[in-house]
Chains A and B, each alone.
Chain A
Amino acid sequence: MKKIFIHKKKLKRLVLRNDMQNIDSSSKDSQLLSRELTVNLDTINTIFEGTSDIIIREFKIGTEQQVKAFLVYVIGLVNEASVNENLLKSLLFLRQAINEHNALTLIKESVLSVASIQEFKTVEKAIDAILSGDTALFIDGSDTVLICSIRGWEARGVDEPQTEAVVRGPREGFVETLSTNIALIRRKIKNPNLKFEQIIIGKQTKTNVCVAYMKNIANKKIVQEVKDRLNRIETDSILESGYIESFIEDAPHSLFPTVGNTEKPDIACAKLLEGRVAIITDGTPFVLTVPYLFVEAFQNSEDYYSRPFYTTFIRWLRWLSFFISTFLPALYVAVTTFHQELLPPTLLMSIAASEEGTPFPAIIEAILMQIIYEILREAGVRLPRPVGQAVSIVGALVIGEAAVSAGLIGAPMVVIVALTAISSFVIPPIVDINSISRFVLLILGGVAGLYGIMLGFAFILVHQCSLRSLGVPYMSPLAPGTLSDLKDVLIRAPWWSMLTRPRVLGGANSTRQEPSQKPKPPKEDKGAK
């Protein structure tokens, strides 16, 4: 029964794929350009019929023997001043002998003052280039179109990213333009081994997606796997890197993300230099990085720019807040419901006193408060900033203060929820995992006490241990343990002692720097004073 089902599915997919190919081939797939300019003009005109943002400019080149030509571009995607100056002007004022036979080479080699010129022979490629913002120059008598890249459109400037704020460190963030993002990375890594490979994904949107990696550092298998997975995507549209993430992630049914994202070039560069692969998508400032391991959520770009001692302390704090934000409400409910004997008598007395008049049992109270907190948080994120303040007032005063004084909920519960919320903000990358697993553990703790919580914890751990991100175990370097990688997980070792790149990624070249670079006082200074 199962086999038949699979078979049917496969068959359906095959049929579907054939249909798609038919549609493609029937339209304009690999249709060659004509030597006749009028034919090409007709083709372009029919394809762009009813498209008002296309400009087609016909003109003649040369003084004696005039050669007909026309330009095609999309308004708003090209720098029109530059098109006028570098294309039209130099062609219209051409004073050289020109005929249909030498026109193409002559124009390409000695007339156009444009750096990037490509030659295409098919209609499809010309159309793709025009729609990407290039200017196409068709010349009578040649079956080749000249694609001049004079792109220029309105875009947001490089800005400080809203997420991933830092006190110390570069403040520039990625923008929505692919070429700018690539340049931002290239400016930091001036090395020919840094490769950017472009792939076009999305049948309708034809989005440019770029795979970046360090050829001398990254694991070849991982790079190949990323490319394979990207090439396998057959979808209508890629509007954000999240689309790609959901197509390439290892565990689509898991709560835990196995693909990371960042908005900052310095983070992307650091990950590339560790041997990871970055996927840059046109149209979004969020760059994906793979493989993504659980411990990365506890690392922050600023960790590496500050001195190691406080950073190590902060890392431990992040782990602590992760546990607080996941377990605290559940533990509170479990202890107050099942294991009151675990509390010191004075604490027990004060909790019992404040919970005495409240109408709900602890578990209901906790779930209600958690839901209200999540609502407040979501409201705060979506609202326009001036209104956002109202949310915090309503949240803090009405729901917090008033609910306690009205005797609806106990004051300790408000403290617990607030502490949980604050702790979860310490580790922004896994806030989503945090709030869902918190609810699950809360229910388990309310049903079966400490036993339930530990059981849920063990289930989550087994699940985490079973995950992989592009073949790399998700919980590494904790499990399977790699001792040398723990220098950047449990502590943040000083830079001079971080001699190796993360071994779990299995890159070809794991040595980061020479040993014994620990700064020492110069020898002649010893005992001088």
Chain B
Amino acid sequence: MPEKGKITYKQLILLVFTSRIIVTLTNMPGLTDPPANQDLWLSELFGLPIMLLLSVPVYLLWMRYPNQTIIQYSQVIAGKVGKLFGALYVWFFMHLTMITLYQYSAFITTAVMPETPSLFFIITMVLFGVYAARNGIEVICRLSELLTPIIMASIIIIALLLIKDMDLKALTPVLEKGVGPVLQGGFTISARTTEILGIAMLLPYLNDTQKVKRVFLLSYTLMLIFFVIITIPVLTMFGVELAKTMAFPFFDTVKLIDIGDFLERIEAVYMGIWLLGGLINISFSLYLSVLGLSHLLNLKDYKPIVLPVGILLIPLTTLSFESIVGLRKFTSYKISTPYSLLFILIIPSILLVISMIRKKGARQA
């Protein structure tokens, strides 16, 4: 195995949580999804059962192959086709890294340092990702364990500071378009949770296999609670229509904090925690890419390929997206939902069916 580290279920939960929540903190992709109105927070709550359902194939596959990652068992189950699947997953993780890198660099250049070229941020973030990934999953997990409590506390404090400016009437009428679109919204939000695959990649490295169900349940619950904590201030302060036009809705909300004319400019704190979380996110997805690649190529050690993959990602990131608008088009629900569903649901289901038919794998009670 290229990775010898072991992680605890708490670390995995925190890592998955941070890497998802930071994306929402940045650009809140769910705003334009159906129902695309003030019921967004309801869709987020409805997401929990849907996310759990989406994780079922991955979970069942893990039961059959508890010591292998998705890239390894896809090769065991489907042979050469499995290898193709594995390659697709590696691409998927790399693509994820690229999207994250581009989004984050775009955020920094537009919001904080407009005069610095975004390439500078991409390169430095990749360098950090390479450094963290080379240190192994244990270190990335420890980093998230160290920072996630701080991130959580800061989000809660920011939300509390915003309470006096919230206009809860903006959340009415509840269920304006009925339950259908809300459920659909829950579905698209769940489909965005590519961290399901992150969990699937890391389950073999969990030191306590009894806690797998808890990982799924707790990480999703935490995620969705914080989704709501982030969404409600945005919806109640700007209204959904205005928020949709914003590139970075939560950042703009944080800027509005002003308590008694002395507690203002909280966005510096926000920037700090956002950056730390974002760096965790990038090192996590870069780590998944190289770990997947090393499994695909049956390498003994993944460390030598971290730097090459990282360097490869720099031109790929700058070339593959023309602008933040193009990226938003891609991450909108019309494209991103089927794209990530293919990886989260369809390929694992195919693998599961093949594996059931061929009766491969030791089923654990």
Contact = CB atoms under 8 A, between A and B. Distances in A.
A and B are partners in one complex rather than unrelated chains: yes
Interface of A: 338-339, 341-344, 448-451, 454-455, 457-459, 461-462, 465-466, 473, 475, 478-481
Given A449-B112, A462-B140, 8 more contacts: A338-B113, A342-B267, A451-B124, A455-B279, A458-B143, A466-B135, A466-B136, A479-B146
A448 B131 CA distance: 19
Contacts of A479: 141-143, 145-146
Task: Pick the 8 closest A-B CB pairs, nearest first.
Answer: A479-B142, A465-B142, A454-B275, A479-B145, A479-B146, A466-B135, A466-B139, A465-B139
B139 A339 contact: no
Contacts of B140: 462
A344 B264 contact: yes
A465 B146 contact: yes
Given A344-B265, A451-B113, A480 B145 contact: yes
Tell me the interface secondary structure of chain A in the complex: helix
Given A338-B113, A344-B265, A462-B139, A455 B124 contact: yes
B146 A461 contact: yes
Interface string B137-168: 00111110111000000000000000000000
Nearest to A474: B142
Contact of A451 (B147, B262, B275): B275
B142 A459 contact: no
B364 to A, nearest CB: 26
Contact of B113 (A449, A454, A462): A449
Contacts of A338: 113
A481 B275 CA distance: 22
Contacts of A481: 10, 145
B264 to A, nearest CB: 7
A465 B134 CA distance: 13
Among A449, A455, A465, find the residue whose CB has the most chain B CB atoms closer than 10 A.
A465
B119 to A, nearest CB: 13
Contacts of B116: 448
Contacts of A339: 112, 268
B196 to A, nearest CB: 24
Nearest to A481: B145
Among A448, A454, A462, find the residue whose CB has the most chain B CB atoms closer than 10 A.
A462
B148 to A, nearest CB: 10
Contacts of A343: 265
B246 to A, nearest CB: 19
B132 interface: yes
Contacts of A466: 135-136, 139
Contact of A465 (B121, B135, B265, B272): B135
B262 A344 contact: yes
Nearest to B144: A479
A344 B108 CA distance: 22
Tell me the interface secondary structure of chain B in the complex: helix
A454 B262 CA distance: 24
A341 B135 CA distance: 37
Interface residues on B, range: 35 or more
A473 B116 CA distance: 38
Contacts of B8: 480
A342 B266 CA distance: 8
A478 B146 contact: yes
Nearest to A458: B279
B112 A450 contact: yes
5 contacts: A448-B116, A455-B279, A458-B276, A461-B147, A480-B8
A341 B113 CA distance: 12
A341 B266 CA distance: 12
B110 to A, nearest CB: 13
Interface in B256-272: 262, 264-265, 267-268, 271-272
B11 interface: yes
Interface string B1-31: 0000000101100000000000000000000
A449 B275 CA distance: 13
B139 A450 contact: no
B112 A480 contact: no
A462 B132 CA distance: 6
Among A457, A478, A479, find the residue whose CB has the most chain B CB atoms closer than 10 A.
A479
Interface in B238-267: 262, 264-265, 267
A344 B11 CA distance: 38
A338 B121 CA distance: 15
B120 interface: yes
A72 to B, nearest CB: 57
A458 B128 contact: yes
A317 B131 CA distance: 31
A461 B148 CA distance: 13
A475 B135 contact: no
A149 B262 CA distance: 73
Nearest to A454: B275
Interface in B210-264: 262, 264
A266 B289 CA distance: 51
Contacts of A458: 128, 143, 275-276, 279
A451 B279 contact: no
Nearest to A335: B268
A344 B260 CA distance: 13
B146 A342 contact: no
A466 B283 CA distance: 14
Among A450, A451, A457, A459, find the residue whose CB has the most chain B CB atoms closer than 10 A.
A451
Interface string B288-309: 0000000000000000000000
Contacts of B283: 462
A478 B145 CA distance: 8
Contacts of A454: 271-272, 275-276, 279
A466 B140 CA distance: 9
Contacts of B142: 465, 473, 475, 479-480
A478 B143 CA distance: 10
A449 B264 CA distance: 20
Contacts of B145: 478-481
Among B125, B128, B142, B145, find the residue whose CB has the most chain A CB atoms closer than 10 A.
B142
B120 A462 contact: no
Among A449, A466, A473, find the residue whose CB has the most chain B CB atoms closer than 10 A.
A466
Interface in B162-186: none
B279 A342 contact: no
B284 to A, nearest CB: 12
A450 B131 CA distance: 20
Contacts of A455: 124-125, 128, 275, 279
B327 to A, nearest CB: 20
Nearest to A478: B146
Contacts of A450: 112, 268, 271-272, 275
Contacts of B135: 462, 465-466
Nearest to B274: A454
A462 B131 contact: yes
B319 to A, nearest CB: 23
B272 A342 contact: no
B48 to A, nearest CB: 25
Contacts of B147: 461
Nearest to A334: B268
Contacts of B131: 459, 462
Interface string B89-132: 00000000000000000001000110010001100110010011
B143 A448 contact: no
A466 B136 CA distance: 9
Contacts of A475: 142, 146
Contact of B276 (A344, A448, A457, A480): A457
A356 to B, nearest CB: 23
A479 B145 CA distance: 6
Contacts of B143: 458, 461-462, 465, 479
B182 to A, nearest CB: 37
B347 to A, nearest CB: 32
A344 B268 CA distance: 12
